Amino acid sequence: MLNTYAWIFIVGIIVFFAITVFLLCFTRSAIQLPLHSGADADFNDWPVDTDQLIADLPEDARLSYERSKVWQERHPPDSVPTDLTTHQLVSIQEKGVSAFEFDWEPESQCFVAARTEVQFVHGECSVQTNLPLPRNQEVYYWEAKMFEKPDTTTVSVGVATKPYPSWRLPGWNPFSIGYFSDNGCKYFSSPFNGKPYGLTFNHGDVIGVGYRHRTGTVFFTRNGRKLADAYTGLRWNLFPTIGANGPCQVHVNLGQMGFVFVEANVKKWGLAPSHGTLAPPPAYGLENDTILLAAGTASSSSNNNGVRSSQRQRILRQHESTADPDAVLITLDEESLPTNQQHDESFAVQIHLLKWSLHNIAYPLLPIHHLIHLLLNLLLQLPLLQTIVQTILLLLLNQIVSRIINCKSNLLVNILRR
């Protein structure tokens, strides 16, 4: 009976590891950018700009259109890597939604203050975030408030691939979507295919943009009310993008505060948690593996004797012969720590990551296979599990040895009988 249970347990462990390997290898795959066509989107045909439509544009608009077309031929959307890297994922974990900010070029007709406050000066201009919309939760959502907007200025709120011409509004060029303030139309990849979508928006209005990455659906909200889905099948790395053709000021909420759209608050659709999960850098001193050795003249040392602790004085005496006149910062790296201390710290870091993922399940920063890998590492470091695994291996080895001995015994008996 014991052997039966042991074999069942061993088979269960093997099946568990097989499923884990399958999840690690096949749960995530690269997402290709369909640059050749838009057949999987919900519009009939990819926008085609005819010569007649281009000729009907004013001269400035026509020159801007032709310039952007040449620019995108030289800088197609797949010309730069846009997938989130490990370093960027760590930055999101450390900073939360503060890791996202709008990039702007000094020569452009706009600038950005406090990461998300966009000020347009004059002329056509657009800005994008430094990071794309992640793909770990079902929906990602953000809002743009028309903080200052004259009636003569047209604002477009939407998403686009990167790189994108900074003098073109989102929706006017390939692989971009925009909801325009002047006519309430939605534009996709062309300035000629605007379709009626919602009401116009002006000073004080809040426009929201949502993206369901599993279906590639982009939808908009206006003052907290959801509009119909704008487009479906847009499976690209999309960046929040805002553009305007005149002076205005737009304040963007990427999740650092509550949304006007209630459903986004309830379901936590922000781009990342409002606060980071890691503690701030340690203060200089005797804590957290960092020691600041303050060395100077004898007079300065005597002045500080009254406030230094006995432990600091002891450290100073140890390094008095080798200390430089200037302050020296000594950082204790992992190699200088005892082996058991390194193990404890590594284990503590993994525990911290796992606890953060479980408590912030609405913002799963790491993919599922990373979480499974982290959980397995933690389990394998538990003494009880190590004992169980060792016991299973011993039982398995015992069974193998027993079978070998039985086979040899039977073979010997058969030889003797002959």
Question: What are the tens digits of pLDDT across the range 388-403?
Answer: 777 777 777 777 877 7
* 8 A C-beta contact, residue 152 and residue 284: no
State pLDDT tens for residues 232-262: 999 889 999 999 999 999 999 999 999 999 9
What is the Cα–Cα distance from 67 to 276, expressed in whole angstroms? 41
CB 112, CB 105: distance < 8 Å: no
Please give the Cα distance from 227 to 219 (Å, whole number): 7
Instruction: Say which residue, 205 or 29, is predicted with more confidence.
Output: 205
Give the position of tokens 């039966």: 4
Supply the pLDDT for residue 298. 46
pLDDT, tens only, 13-52? 777 767 765 655 544 443 444 443 343 444 444 566 778 8
Express each pLDDT in 164-178 by its tens digit: 999 999 999 999 999
Structure tokens at 208: 């929201």
d(CA 48, CA 51): 10
Q: pLDDT band for 371, please (50, 70, 90 cuts).
A: low
DSSP 3-state of 222: strand
In the chain, domain spans: 51-266, 290-331
pLDDT, position 284: 56
384 vs 155, higher pLDDT: 155
pLDDT at 331 over 60: no
Of the options 2.60.120.920, 1.10.10.60, 3.30.1330.10, 2.20.28.90, the CATH number for the domain spanning 51-266: 2.60.120.920
Phi and psi angles of residue 16, each rounded to the nearest 5 degrees, phi first: -60, -45
pLDDT at 369 over 70: no
Q: What is the pLDDT of residues 275-295, one digit of tens each?
A: 887 766 666 555 555 555 444
| Per-residue pLDDT, 40 | 43
- Owner of token pair 């692989």: 175
At residue 172, the pLDDT reads 95
> Strand 125-129 and strand 239-244: pairing?
antiparallel
Residue 35: what pLDDT?
43
What value does the mean pLDDT of the chain take?
A: 77
Looking at residue 124, the DSSP 8-state letter turns out to be: S
Provide the pLDDT for residue 332.
Answer: 38
Q: Which of 230, 180, 185 is nearest to 210 (CA)?
A: 230
- Which of 154-168, 218-232, 325-339, 348-362 bottoms out in mean pLDDT, i.e. has the lowest? 325-339
More confident residue, 208 or 383: 208
Beta strands 176-180; 328-331: pairing state: unpaired
